[in-house]
Amino acid sequence: MTRALFVIDVQNDFTEGGALGVTGGAHVAQAVTDHLRAHRDRYDLVVASRDWHAPDGDNGGHFSAEPDFVDSWPTHCVQGSTGADYHPDLDTALVDVHVLKGDGRPAYSLFDGLVDDGRPFGDVLAATGVDEVDVVGLATDHCVRASALDAVTAGLGVTVLTDLVAGVAPAPSEAALAELRAAGVRTAPSSDVVDGSTGVPA
């Protein structure tokens, strides 16, 4: 078994005080770092994604002056901005592969992104032989959800670590976790996974 950790969009604009900050975002940044420092040997590969939106234009309708917060959003995670940076409590020295997504178009899933050398993330992942993945990060009801669903579609065994994610709001976050379980994703606290529990199956 080859296992990866997907760290989804732990960026300043998605944590408290950011353009689309979620409650608990900064806690997730530190908690993911603590998890990795304690259990780095669990993972053969650690991947972190970032929204990386073009500074000009509306990024394919993703940005709007009157956002509906479903398909359109306030300006966030613009390339080169502080908001697009990883949160400072996330230790990026523990990350093997960095993925950028959303350059000029909407992109929620890690699988929509490119690695530093311009290759699609899916191609890079396929070459690693990873077959199991833990998913953490922001936000539960959007990019975590999309990334986990695409990981299932890619044929991976997927677990969302429920204490290492935070969502925009409780109700849609619970709905997203229920949808993920129905798709075959396991959900469990990180302590259960490390201790060998199977979590909650679909």
Residues belonging to the active site: 9, 101, 143
CA distance 57 to 64: 10
Angle of CA points 83, 85, 91, to nearest 5°: 140
Instruction: Sort strands 157-166 and 186-188 into parallel, antiparallel or unpaired.
Output: parallel
Q: What's the sign of the alpha-carbon dihedral 68, 8, 185, 35?
A: negative
Token representation of residue 14: 């998605």
CA distance 120 to 201: 30
CA distance 26 to 39: 20
Instruction: Sort strands 45-51 and 157-166 into parallel, antiparallel or unpaired.
Output: unpaired
177 close to 160: Cβ distance less than 8 angstroms? yes
CA distance 87 to 24: 12
Computed on alpha carbons and rounded to an integer, the radius of gyration of the chain in Å comes to 16
